[in-house]
Amino acid sequence: MTTIPVLMGVVNVTPDSFSDGGRWLEPDAAIAHGRELLRDGADILDIGGESTRPGATRPLVEEELGRVVPVIAALAADGATVSVDTMRAEVAEAALAAGATIVNDVSGGLADPRILDVTAASDATYVAMHWRAHAAHMRDFAVYDGPGGVVQAVRDELAARVEAILAAGVPAERIVLDPGLGFAKRVEHNWALLRDLGPLESLGYPVLVGASRKTFLGRLLADSGGTVRPVDQREHANTALTVLLAQRGVWGLRVHDVRAARDALRVLERLDQGEQE
């Protein structure tokens, strides 16, 4: 029996995200998009005000707050389960006050250690992603030459983050881990992690995977001349990953096209039900 993963729908309230930068920058547009994702079957809405695409520059704290807090407040008031995608303690604190119940920190507490204290003081779930450097420099850190390569390195570095998270007072039952596809990872590193999530799962925490629309899929689907498949034409490949990762038992999937992912999961659910009238 397949355990159906939760779907975390992405709402980028940014001008420069790689997949849909600028489309949902205005609060009303972001709120409307979040509601659409809920109708499409999202379990969680992940609201982010800072682009983490390779090479991106960071917004001011005030900018990030202004982008995400009104959107979180409106969607949480609708009854949605809301996650804030941030590396900053100030933003996490304001987001939790506005109704978010999950802190999705792509830095795993390395960018701003106080975010762990903020989360511990709440009842929020904390998602810790594998991370080595900010977007402007992360390509310089995509080196995994030790024994076990990228899989072992991600496992060990996230295990160290878990120790810090627990020490800050976040209970074990509120920790989720993310291998960080595309973050200080080259194409081959992403595929290696997807092939072997076992070492990460062995830590005993739920695993969230975010592969949606990322460059390694675009390169897989490149045309005969080597032109990378555009961002908005990678969804079929991500749907295939949705099915495979669900069958492998991951806890959650972070996706842009919630409807496509939900449709794929419904097929799996129906197959598991066996014969029916």
By annotation, the residues acting in catalysis are 214, 254
Alpha helices in 41-172 (DSSP H): 61-77, 89-98, 114-120, 149-168
The 10 Å CB-count burial string (b at 16+, else e) for 205-233 is bbbbbbbbbbbbbbeeeeeeeeeebebee
Q: Is 274 exposed, middle or buried (0-12, 13-18, 19+ CB in 10 A)?
A: exposed
**Is 27:227 a contact under the CB 8 Å cutoff?**
no
Residues 6+ apart with CB under 8 A from 247: 2, 268
Distance CA 155, CA 192 (A): 13
